[in-house]
Structure 1
Amino acid sequence: MTGNGSCGIPGGQYPSDCEVTEGLRQRAMSRSGQDERGYAWRVCLPRAKEIQLLLLDVDGVLTDGTITYGNSGTELKSFNIKDGFGIRLLRESGVEVGIITARRSEAVERRAQDLKLAHLYQGVGNKIEAFTEILAAQKLTPQQVAYMGDDWLDLPLLSRVGLAVTVADGVAEVKAVAHYVTRQAGGRGAVRELCELIIEAKGQREELLARYLR
């Protein structure tokens, strides 16, 4: 491989560090392109482009729905690291993220702090009230908000947001109202998939990816 005149030394016998990095970048771009995305993904891009805030349920979305109790009665939850990094990337793109959940857990509070989430509503019986409060505080319209849920409790909110999303193992009634159903299950990368959808819709995928290939 020889230099190309703009990256490395022209005529060199081996690729320069610059050329290697550029090759990796191009391969990563290709692997993450639309050729791996389905029709539903492409159809949702216009909706996703308008999103300024992503709200998430917890059990069955950020987790796989399993609840474990320790010997002391403490509730334990497991979170997916790829979901967490997807949220970080989404925040870097300018979209805030929050949680609205019917249950209350110290583990969720800690996870929200770790991810620097803008909103955390726990023990919420009526998610619409929390949603309305957030809209007023942030001066957003429902069309600028995405929500991901997986069960009946999420139906009222899913029917009001600009981008309604559920996980691969969400219940049938939720899938029926969702604009997009992820390929991944809850707690297994579904949130990361949604974050990437919004990032791609805003045309920021390549810019964000390039930051990690320097």
Structure 2
Amino acid sequence: MFEKAAKIRLLLLDVDGILTDARIIVDEAGREIKHFCVRDGMGIKLLQMAGLEVGLLSSRTSKPVSHRAQELGIDMIFQGEKDKLSLYEKIKGKKALSDQNIAFMGDDWVDIPVLARVGLAITVPEAWPPVKDYAHYVTQNKGGHGAVREVCDLLLKAQGKWEEVLRCFAPSSLTRCF
């Protein structure tokens, strides 16, 4: 699995159940509220620092997702996409990447076609059971509780970028990394 992770240049993420714990909270005014894990956000920023790209593919449309993507500097955000495989193929072509250069994290039926195609297919422990059959890796952490960070750390280590990124956080280096 480390060999697959070493080839990744783009990490695509489903949102509900991956970046969140799959719950959708709607207040009495109809506003949607989502919980995001700050550690996942830090992992995404570390990947970006190391030169990897991150994108979001969600079959739902949500203002909180747009806001979180903007906070994290994620420009590749696709919401309301029911046919994730067609979208995946377009992204792959536009970025001139092969399947082996792309990882995808998903947790439900709609994610299976992409999971079956990518070079590194990842899911979370609480994924809908049939989804796990398509995963190369099942995280130890739950969706919305550090699963994305776990994968980000794995990618950095597999690509030999872990120490480089870690050096950015030495007290004498902080000004050079951001």
TM-score normalised by the chain length of structure 2: 0.94
- After TM superposition, the runs of 4+ consecutive aligned structure 1 residues lying more than 6 A away are none
Q: Of 34, 41, 65, which residue of structure 2 is paired with 1:108?
A: 65
Partner of 1:94: 51
Is 1:45 the counterpart of 2:2 in the alignment?
yes
Q: Identity over the aligned pairs, expressed in percent?
A: 46
Indicate the structure (1 or 2) with the bigger Cα radius of gyration. Answer: 1
1:117 and 2:90 are equivalent in the alignment: no
Q: 1:54 touches 1:98 (CA, 8 Å); kept in 2?
A: yes
Q: Which residue of 2 aligns with 1:198?
A: 155
Q: Is the 8 A contact 1:96 1:118 kept in 2?
A: no
State how far apart, in whole Å, the 1-side matches of 2:62 and 2:126 are.
Answer: 23
| Equivalent of residue 182 in structure 1, options 122, 136, 139 | 139
**Distance in structure 1 (CA, Å) of the matches to 2:22 and 2:156:** 26
Q: Give the Cα separation in 2 of the matches to 1:48 and 1:125.
A: 27
1:151-189 CA-partner distances (Å, limit 9, x unpaired): 111100000000000012112211111000000000000
What is the CA-CA distance between 1:61 and the residue it aligns to?
A: 0.3
Structure 1 letter corresponding to 2:47: L
Using the TM superposition, give the Cα deviation of residue 209 of structure 1 relative to its aligned residue in structure 2, in angstroms: 0.9
What RMSD over aligned residues (CA atoms) do the two structures have, in Å? 0.8
Task: Give the structure, 1 or 2, with the largest relative contact order (CA under 8 Å, sep 6 or more).
Answer: 2
How do 1:1-214 residues align onto structure 2 when only pairs under 5 Å count?
Answer: 44-214=1-171
Q: State the 1:118 CA deviation.
A: 3.2
How many angstroms does 1:210 deviate by? 1.6
Unaligned stretches of 5+ residues in structure 1? 1-43
The total of aligned residue pairs comes to 171
Mapped contact 1:98–1:118 kept (Cα < 8 A): yes
Q: What secondary structure does 1:165 align onto?
A: strand
SS in 2 for 1:170: coil
Structure 2 residue runs of 5 or longer lacking an equivalent are 172-178
Separation in structure 2 between the aligned mates of residue 90 and residue 74 of structure 1, nearest angstrom? 31
CA distance in 1, matches of 2:132, 2:157: 22
